[in-house]
């Protein structure tokens, strides 16, 4: 028997629900109660369980597409022992229609009329979407909304100040060239340098709780990672005890999991401090916004050959990278933060 | 965030003291609640069940243990998470399912829905969805019972979140100064929606706080051990009937599902969740029943299958029951 799978009512508003990924692929078996797909509503990301046992047939919407509550998203070829009540319900009758035939005026609030319905999407989804976007704008995803709210709150409520400097990248360049296989990511060096330096700066390992500083309760350093249109932070736990190669692998794995739609890593996880790097995008320097409730964020710019006045008084050329430390002034003073930034520079310049 | 220490559950260790038919009835009632909640979950996922729902998988022993100690004419008050309380107090699967489908045949004629199930004829005030809202109501009912010179008692169910409400203080304090026959049943499942108890109270031993604050008996019991709950509830009910109420029970339990169907429950740490899943009240009681030679795997499975079929039959009926019409709009309402 063919059973139409509808998008459950998982949203708190009338907004559409985005399909994050199909956990079960067409042709694969799924048991009643086992996770079938991952979705993202206006409130949360979650797994949706299969309502029956069977083989997943046709999938009508792919990962990334948004649908309305009640839209048919897939068809399940159900085993013979399908639940009697499911089998008895003619699949052509939607709940809305069924309710209407039972009572001339229904006071039932929860069966929403499908906004548009599956047919609209089936005809020419791209054209319809483009037309809708032109009129209604492009709605933010859950992750985008969360990022927007947090960064707005950060910029509006945290008194930021910014310290800028540069560092000699010779040690790191040498270390990267020494590796024959996959080069160590630049991010890994910044994470390790921050992790080592922050051990001597208690205040940066705290967060502000009302009128006191309390320990952050984590030893992770976060790495900001942008996917196509969303921003995430991958935490690297206890990096000070790891090698730069291990950290680099950990970041790479995290990025792969993000691109693969892994829900676990998309969730916000606490870190001591975040590192963000736009050097690979040819950005010379930039001023990042603190990721609350952290005390600071380090922004790394492009490393490039730079003319410098050497100690000998002569002019030389060094590979130098720029750093900007954005700091919460409620937590640290300028001098204190300057010492921290200097410690980061030292760690980067002696990196092995 | 480790769960609080529990009292030893001596009654649970010697179930032989209870009659076998009582033990099997307790089991069946817990299974009925679990199967109901699981069945409703799938109806919701299918899109046939309207609204959202708040479910109690994992908390079956609290409702069943307490209600088993009550008489039919005793009352309970409940919350937005009331399916288990209703089934434990003796409401039928059919009248509940009809109510969840919004049908006129439901226990509140389709006007209450999931968050307000109840049946006054069966001793259950329709669920009060405002957190802590049932507590002063229970105290008031208990006062009425006392003034009527009956021996009836009220069991008032609420969660750990309700303890921080002003209504909690008002209701418990009034019941305490007047020795009212109320059993305040706090189902402490560690989370008020998504907030852990340790974030809303400095001393998370709720029973100790209540005992020292209001001067009444307050017991903390393993709420996933149905016989421990039952034994404590029995003695609490007896004390209330004798005019020495109220009694406060803190039942430590855990919700093995989201706060509502829209809650994926990411705030429950995986290890905590698994530790509590291992303490599933139904599976624990199965072990007890088998170790006492009162049942075996095949019989227990037969009970589950029978109850599951009952649910499916009731669901097939419920989805075809009549819905209220415009003529019903002004009946059974006060404003």
Q: For the residues of A39-56, what is the DSSP string, one character each?
A: EE-SS-EEEEE-SS-EEE
Q: Nearest-CA residue of chain B relative to A35?
A: B45
Q: What's the gap in Å between the CA of A350 and the closest CA on chain B?
A: 39
A89 touches chain B (CB under 8 A): yes
Q: String of b and e for A31-40 (b: at least 16 CB within 10 Å)? A: ebeeebbbbb
B323 touches chain A (CB under 8 A): yes
Q: Do A6 and B50 touch (CB under 8 A)?
A: no
Q: What is the mean pLDDT of residues B69-84?
A: 97
How long is chain A? 352
Distance separating alpha carbons of residues B197 and B64, to the nearest angstrom:
24
B166 touches chain A (CB under 8 A): no
Specify whether the CB–CB gap between A70 and A94 falls below 8 A: yes
Task: Give the residue with greater pLDDT, B7 vs B322.
Answer: B322
* A-chain residues near B52 (CB < 8 A): 9
CA B16 to chain centre: 25
Residue A323: pLDDT band with limits 50, 70, 90: very high
Backbone angles phi and psi of A19, in degrees to 5? -85, 120
Q: Do B262 and A12 touch (CB under 8 A)?
A: yes
Sequence ranges of the domains in chain B: 19-204+212-319
B193 touches chain A (CB under 8 A): no
Contacts of residue B328, defined as CB under 8 A and 6 or more positions apart, other chains included, come to A107, B104, B109, B111
Q: Do B312 and A45 touch (CB under 8 A)?
A: no
The question of ipTM being above 0.90 is answered as no
Give the strand pairing for B182-188 and B154-159.
Answer: parallel
* A-chain residues near B47 (CB < 8 A): 6-9, 69-70, 95
Specify whether the CB–CB gap between B82 and B75 falls below 8 A: no
Interface test with A, best of B45, B54, B112, B259 (most A CBs within 10 A): B45
The tens digit of pLDDT for each residue in A79-135 reads 765 444 443 333 333 444 333 334 333 333 333 333 444 433 344 556 666 666 666
Q: Do A89 and B319 touch (CB under 8 A)?
A: yes
Architecture category of domain B19-204+212-319 in CATH:
3-Layer(aba) Sandwich (3.40)
* A-chain residues near B323 (CB < 8 A): 99, 102-103, 106-108
Q: What is the mean pLDDT of residues B204-225?
A: 97
pLDDT, position A132? 63
> Does the predicted model carry a pTM greater than 0.95?
no
Q: Closest partner residue to A45 among B47, B261, B264, by Cβ?
A: B264
Q: Closest partner residue to A105 among B41, B312, B326, by Cβ?
A: B326
Token pair 């609204």 is found at B51
Q: CA–CA distance from B323 to each of A100, A105, A112, B13, B320 (Å)?
A: 10, 9, 16, 48, 9
E strand or H helix at A59, and its extent?
Answer: strand A54-59
Q: Closest partner residue to A103 among B312, B319, B323, by Cβ?
A: B323
* A-chain residues near B38 (CB < 8 A): 33
Q: Do A95 and B47 touch (CB under 8 A)?
A: yes
Q: Counting one residue from A and one from B, how many pairs have CB atoms under 8 Å apart? A: 86
Q: Do A84 and B52 touch (CB under 8 A)?
A: no
Cis amide leading into B246 (omega within 30): yes
Structure-block tokens of residue A1? 């028997």
Q: What's the gap in Å between the CA of B250 and the closest CA on chain A?
A: 30
pLDDT, position B32? 98
The tens digit of pLDDT for each residue in A260-274 reads 877 778 777 889 999
Q: Closest partner residue to A88 among B52, B264, B316, by Cβ?
A: B316
The tens digit of pLDDT for each residue in A160-187 reads 999 999 999 999 998 888 876 778 899 9
């Amino acid at each position: 028997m063919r059973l139409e799978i509808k998008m459950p009512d998982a949203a708190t508003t009338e907004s559409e629900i985005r399909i994050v990924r199909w956990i079960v692929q067409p042709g694969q078996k799924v048991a009643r109660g086992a996770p079938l797909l991952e979705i993202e509503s206006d409130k949360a990301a979650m797994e949706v369980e299969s309502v029956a046992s069977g083989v997943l047939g046709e999938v009508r919407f792919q990962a990334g597409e948004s649908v309305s509550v009640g839209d048919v998203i897939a068809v399940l070829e159900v085993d013979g022992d399908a639940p009697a009540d499911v089998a008895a319900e003619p699949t052509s009758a939607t709940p809305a229609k069924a309710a209407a035939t039972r009572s001339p005026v229904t006071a039932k609030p929860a069966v929403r009329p499908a906004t548009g319905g599956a047919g609209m999407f089936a005809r020419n989804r791209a054209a319809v979407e483009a037309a809708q976007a032109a009129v209604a704008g492009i709605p933010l995803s859950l992750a985008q909304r969360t990022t927007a709210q947090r960064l707005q709150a950060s910029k509006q409520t945290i008194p930021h100040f910014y310290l800028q400097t540069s560092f000699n990248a010779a040690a790191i360049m040498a270390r990267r060239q020494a590796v024959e296989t996959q080069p160590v990511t630049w991010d890994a060096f910044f994470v390790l340098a921050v992790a080592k330096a922050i051990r001597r700066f208690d205040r940066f390992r705290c967060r502000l709780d009302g009128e006191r500083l309390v320990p952050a309760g984590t030893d992770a350093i976060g790495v900001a990672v942008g996917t196509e249109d969303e921003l995430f932070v991958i935490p690297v736990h206890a990096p000070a005890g790891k090698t730069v190669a291990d950290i680099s692998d950990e970041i790479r794995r995290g990025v792969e999991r993000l691109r693969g739609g892994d829900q676990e890593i998309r969730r916000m996880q606490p870190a001591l401090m975040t590192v963000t790097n736009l050097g690979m995008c040819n950005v010379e320097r930039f001023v990042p916004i603190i990721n609350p409730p952290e005390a600071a964020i380090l922004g790394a710019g492009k490393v490039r050959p730079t003319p410098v006045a050497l100690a000998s008084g002569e002019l030389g050329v060094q590979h130098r990278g720029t750093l900007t430390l954005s700091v919460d002034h409620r937590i640290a003073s300028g001098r204190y933060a300057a010492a921290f930034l200097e410690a980061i520079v030292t760690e980067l310049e002696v990196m092995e | 965030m480790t769960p609080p220490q529990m009292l030893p559950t001596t009654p649970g260790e010697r179930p032989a003291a209870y009659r076998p038919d009582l033990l099997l009835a307790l089991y069946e009632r817990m299974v009925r609640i679990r199967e109901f909640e699981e069945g409703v979950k799938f109806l919701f996922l299918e899109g046939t069940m309207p609204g959202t729902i708040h479910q109690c998988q994992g908390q079956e022993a609290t409702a069943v243990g307490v209600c088993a100690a009550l008489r039919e004419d005793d009352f309970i008050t409940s919350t937005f998470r009331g399916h288990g309380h209703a089934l434990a107090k003796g409401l039928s699967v059919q009248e509940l399912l009809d109510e969840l489908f919004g049908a006129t045949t439901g226990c509140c004629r389709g006007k209450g829905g999931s968050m307000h199930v109840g049946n006054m004829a069966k001793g259950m005030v329709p669920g009060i969805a405002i957190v802590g809202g049932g507590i002063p109501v229970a105290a008031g009912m208990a006062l009425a019972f006392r003034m009527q010179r009956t021996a009836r008692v009220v069991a008032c169910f609420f969660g750990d979140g309700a303890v921080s409400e002003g209504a909690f203080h008002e209701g418990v304090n009034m019941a305490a100064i007047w020795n009212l026959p109320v059993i305040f049943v706090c189902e402490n499942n560690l989370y008020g929606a998504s907030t852990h108890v340790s974030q809303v109270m400095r001393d998370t031993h709720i029973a100790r706080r209540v005992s020292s604050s209001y001067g009444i008996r307050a017991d903390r019991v393993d709420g996933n051990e149905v016989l421990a709950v039952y034994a404590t509830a029995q003695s609490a009910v007896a004390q209330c009937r004798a005019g020495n109420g109220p009694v406060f029970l803190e039942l430590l339990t855990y919700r093995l599902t989201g706060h509502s169907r829209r809650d994926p429950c990411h705030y429950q740490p995986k290890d905590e969740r698994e530790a509590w899943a291992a303490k599933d009240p139904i599976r624990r009681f199965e072990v007890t029943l088998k170790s006492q030679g009162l049942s075996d795997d095949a019989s227990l499975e037969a009970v589950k299958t029978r109850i599951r079929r009952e649910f499916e039959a009731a669901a097939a009926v419920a989805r075809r029951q009549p819905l209220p019409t415009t003529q019903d709009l002004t009946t059974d309402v006060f404003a």
